[in-house]
Amino acid sequence: MRIVVADDSVLLREGLIRLLVEEGHRVSAAVGDGPALVEAVLEHRPDVSIVDVRMPPTHSDEGLRAAIAARSQLPGTPMLMLSQYVEASYAGELLADGSGAIGYLLKDRVARIAEFLDALDRVAQGATVLDPQVVARLLTEQRRDSPVRALTPRERQILALMAEGCSNTAIARQLVVSASAVEKHIGNIFAKLGLPPDDTRHRRVLAVLTYLSG
Protein backbone atom coordinates (compact mmCIF):
# COMPACT_ATOMS: atom_id res chain seq x y z
CA MET A 1 0.00 0.00 0.00
CA ARG A 2 0.96 3.63 -0.48
CA ILE A 3 0.83 5.38 2.89
CA VAL A 4 1.20 8.93 4.24
CA VAL A 5 2.36 9.25 7.86
CA ALA A 6 1.60 12.41 9.86
CA ASP A 7 3.02 12.73 13.38
CA ASP A 8 5.11 15.47 14.96
CA SER A 9 7.03 12.95 17.09
CA VAL A 10 10.10 12.11 15.03
CA LEU A 11 10.68 8.93 17.04
CA LEU A 12 7.19 7.55 16.44
CA ARG A 13 7.13 8.72 12.84
CA GLU A 14 10.42 7.03 11.99
CA GLY A 15 9.35 3.91 13.86
CA LEU A 16 6.15 3.71 11.83
CA ILE A 17 8.04 4.22 8.59
CA ARG A 18 10.44 1.40 9.40
CA LEU A 19 7.61 -0.95 10.38
CA LEU A 20 5.59 -0.18 7.26
CA VAL A 21 8.53 -0.58 4.90
CA GLU A 22 9.47 -3.89 6.52
CA GLU A 23 5.91 -5.05 5.89
CA GLY A 24 6.25 -4.28 2.19
CA HIS A 25 4.37 -0.97 2.12
CA ARG A 26 5.56 2.28 0.56
CA VAL A 27 5.58 5.48 2.60
CA SER A 28 4.81 8.18 0.06
CA ALA A 29 5.32 11.04 2.53
CA ALA A 30 6.05 11.61 6.23
CA VAL A 31 5.01 14.98 7.68
CA GLY A 32 4.76 16.67 11.06
CA ASP A 33 1.83 19.09 10.86
CA GLY A 34 -1.72 19.41 9.57
CA PRO A 35 -1.24 21.58 6.46
CA ALA A 36 1.57 19.30 5.28
CA LEU A 37 -0.76 16.31 5.71
CA VAL A 38 -3.41 17.87 3.47
CA GLU A 39 -0.81 18.69 0.83
CA ALA A 40 0.66 15.17 0.96
CA VAL A 41 -2.73 13.48 0.67
CA LEU A 42 -3.77 15.60 -2.30
CA GLU A 43 -0.40 15.09 -4.01
CA HIS A 44 0.09 11.37 -3.43
CA ARG A 45 -3.53 10.12 -3.02
CA PRO A 46 -2.39 7.33 -0.69
CA ASP A 47 -4.27 4.11 -0.02
CA VAL A 48 -4.40 5.18 3.63
CA SER A 49 -2.95 7.87 5.90
CA ILE A 50 -1.82 7.40 9.50
CA VAL A 51 -2.48 10.61 11.42
CA ASP A 52 -1.76 11.80 14.95
CA VAL A 53 -4.84 13.61 16.33
CA ARG A 54 -2.76 16.20 18.20
CA MET A 55 -0.11 18.08 16.23
CA PRO A 56 1.48 21.58 16.23
CA PRO A 57 0.96 24.38 16.94
CA THR A 58 -1.59 23.85 19.75
CA HIS A 59 -1.39 20.07 20.05
CA SER A 60 -5.18 19.86 20.40
CA ASP A 61 -6.97 18.64 17.27
CA GLU A 62 -4.87 19.80 14.30
CA GLY A 63 -4.49 16.27 12.96
CA LEU A 64 -8.23 15.72 13.09
CA ARG A 65 -8.97 19.01 11.34
CA ALA A 66 -6.42 18.25 8.66
CA ALA A 67 -7.89 14.78 8.09
CA ILE A 68 -11.38 16.27 7.73
CA ALA A 69 -10.03 18.92 5.35
CA ALA A 70 -8.28 16.30 3.22
CA ARG A 71 -11.43 14.16 3.06
CA SER A 72 -13.51 17.19 2.07
CA GLN A 73 -11.27 17.62 -0.97
CA LEU A 74 -10.74 13.92 -1.61
CA PRO A 75 -13.96 12.26 -0.32
CA GLY A 76 -13.59 8.86 1.30
CA THR A 77 -9.80 8.91 1.44
CA PRO A 78 -8.89 6.41 4.22
CA MET A 79 -7.62 7.82 7.50
CA LEU A 80 -6.30 5.91 10.52
CA MET A 81 -6.15 8.32 13.45
CA LEU A 82 -3.84 7.78 16.42
CA SER A 83 -4.25 9.34 19.87
CA GLN A 84 -2.92 8.91 23.38
CA TYR A 85 -6.39 9.57 24.74
CA VAL A 86 -9.95 8.32 24.37
CA GLU A 87 -11.67 11.19 22.59
CA ALA A 88 -14.79 9.68 21.07
CA SER A 89 -16.08 12.95 19.61
CA TYR A 90 -13.11 13.06 17.24
CA ALA A 91 -14.09 9.73 15.72
CA GLY A 92 -17.65 10.98 15.41
CA GLU A 93 -16.62 14.05 13.44
CA LEU A 94 -14.63 11.98 10.99
CA LEU A 95 -17.47 9.49 10.54
CA ALA A 96 -20.04 12.20 9.98
CA ASP A 97 -19.86 12.03 6.17
CA GLY A 98 -20.98 8.39 6.32
CA SER A 99 -18.38 7.09 3.87
CA GLY A 100 -16.34 4.92 6.24
CA ALA A 101 -12.63 4.18 5.74
CA ILE A 102 -11.90 5.63 9.18
CA GLY A 103 -9.92 4.20 12.07
CA TYR A 104 -9.30 5.53 15.57
CA LEU A 105 -6.70 3.74 17.66
CA LEU A 106 -4.89 4.59 20.86
CA LYS A 107 -1.16 4.89 20.35
CA ASP A 108 -0.52 2.00 22.73
CA ARG A 109 -2.15 -0.22 20.11
CA VAL A 110 0.72 0.46 17.72
CA ALA A 111 2.91 -1.69 19.97
CA ARG A 112 0.60 -4.60 19.17
CA ILE A 113 1.93 -4.85 15.65
CA ALA A 114 -0.41 -7.52 14.28
CA GLU A 115 -3.51 -5.66 15.53
CA PHE A 116 -2.24 -2.36 14.17
CA LEU A 117 -1.45 -3.76 10.72
CA ASP A 118 -4.80 -5.52 10.59
CA ALA A 119 -6.61 -2.28 11.44
CA LEU A 120 -4.57 -0.40 8.83
CA ASP A 121 -5.52 -2.92 6.15
CA ARG A 122 -9.21 -2.84 7.05
CA VAL A 123 -9.35 0.96 6.99
CA ALA A 124 -7.62 0.99 3.60
CA GLN A 125 -10.36 -1.34 2.36
CA GLY A 126 -13.09 1.02 3.55
CA ALA A 127 -13.97 -0.33 6.99
CA THR A 128 -14.57 1.62 10.19
CA VAL A 129 -12.24 0.54 13.01
CA LEU A 130 -12.53 1.98 16.52
CA ASP A 131 -10.32 1.11 19.46
CA PRO A 132 -12.18 -1.10 21.97
CA GLN A 133 -11.46 1.49 24.67
CA VAL A 134 -13.26 4.13 22.61
CA VAL A 135 -16.23 1.79 22.25
CA ALA A 136 -16.22 1.11 26.00
CA ARG A 137 -16.28 4.86 26.70
CA LEU A 138 -19.26 5.26 24.39
CA LEU A 139 -21.20 2.66 26.31
CA THR A 140 -20.97 4.77 29.47
CA GLU A 141 -21.75 8.11 27.81
CA GLN A 142 -24.93 7.43 25.86
CA ARG A 143 -27.81 9.84 26.37
CA ARG A 144 -31.02 8.64 27.94
CA ASP A 145 -32.86 9.33 24.67
CA SER A 146 -30.29 7.57 22.49
CA PRO A 147 -31.93 5.19 19.96
CA VAL A 148 -29.15 2.74 20.80
CA ARG A 149 -30.88 2.17 24.14
CA ALA A 150 -33.73 0.45 22.26
CA LEU A 151 -31.36 -2.35 21.25
CA THR A 152 -31.21 -5.63 23.11
CA PRO A 153 -27.99 -6.49 24.98
CA ARG A 154 -26.98 -8.84 22.16
CA GLU A 155 -27.67 -6.19 19.51
CA ARG A 156 -25.62 -3.64 21.46
CA GLN A 157 -22.82 -6.18 21.71
CA ILE A 158 -22.89 -6.73 17.96
CA LEU A 159 -23.01 -2.99 17.25
CA ALA A 160 -19.97 -2.52 19.50
CA LEU A 161 -18.09 -5.15 17.49
CA MET A 162 -19.19 -3.45 14.27
CA ALA A 163 -17.72 -0.22 15.64
CA GLU A 164 -14.44 -2.04 16.23
CA GLY A 165 -14.44 -2.95 12.54
CA CYS A 166 -15.34 -6.62 12.84
CA SER A 167 -16.90 -8.31 9.82
CA ASN A 168 -20.03 -10.46 10.16
CA THR A 169 -17.85 -13.56 10.02
CA ALA A 170 -15.56 -12.25 12.76
CA ILE A 171 -18.56 -11.33 14.92
CA ALA A 172 -20.07 -14.79 14.49
CA ARG A 173 -16.77 -16.40 15.41
CA GLN A 174 -16.27 -14.23 18.49
CA LEU A 175 -19.82 -14.71 19.80
CA VAL A 176 -19.95 -18.38 18.77
CA VAL A 177 -23.14 -17.99 16.75
CA SER A 178 -24.03 -18.58 13.11
CA ALA A 179 -23.42 -16.00 10.40
CA SER A 180 -27.16 -15.96 9.65
CA ALA A 181 -27.88 -15.11 13.30
CA VAL A 182 -25.49 -12.16 13.07
CA GLU A 183 -27.14 -10.97 9.85
CA LYS A 184 -30.55 -11.15 11.51
CA HIS A 185 -29.37 -9.13 14.50
CA ILE A 186 -27.79 -6.52 12.22
CA GLY A 187 -31.05 -6.25 10.29
CA ASN A 188 -32.84 -5.59 13.58
CA ILE A 189 -30.23 -2.99 14.52
CA PHE A 190 -30.76 -1.12 11.24
CA ALA A 191 -34.54 -1.20 11.74
CA LYS A 192 -34.41 0.07 15.32
CA LEU A 193 -31.98 2.85 14.40
CA GLY A 194 -34.21 3.95 11.51
CA LEU A 195 -31.79 2.97 8.73
CA PRO A 196 -33.79 1.53 5.80
CA PRO A 197 -32.01 0.10 2.73
CA ASP A 198 -30.43 2.92 0.73
CA ASP A 199 -27.92 2.43 -2.07
CA THR A 200 -26.59 5.97 -1.61
CA ARG A 201 -25.56 5.50 2.04
CA HIS A 202 -23.46 2.97 3.94
CA ARG A 203 -25.84 1.70 6.65
CA ARG A 204 -23.09 -0.01 8.60
CA VAL A 205 -21.19 3.27 8.92
CA LEU A 206 -24.36 5.17 9.78
CA ALA A 207 -25.20 2.66 12.52
CA VAL A 208 -21.76 3.18 14.04
CA LEU A 209 -22.19 6.95 13.70
CA THR A 210 -25.49 6.71 15.60
CA TYR A 211 -23.65 4.72 18.23
CA LEU A 212 -20.97 7.41 18.48
CA SER A 213 -23.42 10.28 18.70
CA GLY A 214 -25.55 8.50 21.33
Give the residue extent of every domain in the chain: 2-131, 142-213
> May I ask the CATH class of domain 142-213?
mainly alpha
Which of 17-31, 77-91, 118-132 ranks highest by mean pLDDT? 17-31
- Of 97, 7, 136, 107, the C-alpha closest to 59 is 7
Express each pLDDT in 31-43 by its tens digit.
999 999 999 999 9
For 177-196, what is each residue's pLDDT tens digit?
A: 999 999 999 999 999 998 88
CATH code of 2-131, in short, is 3.40.50.2300
| Contacts for 24 with CB less than 8 Å, ≥ 6 apart | none
**CA 76, 5, 2 angle in degrees (round to 5)?**
65
> What is the Cα–Cα distance from 147 to 105, expressed in whole angstroms?
25
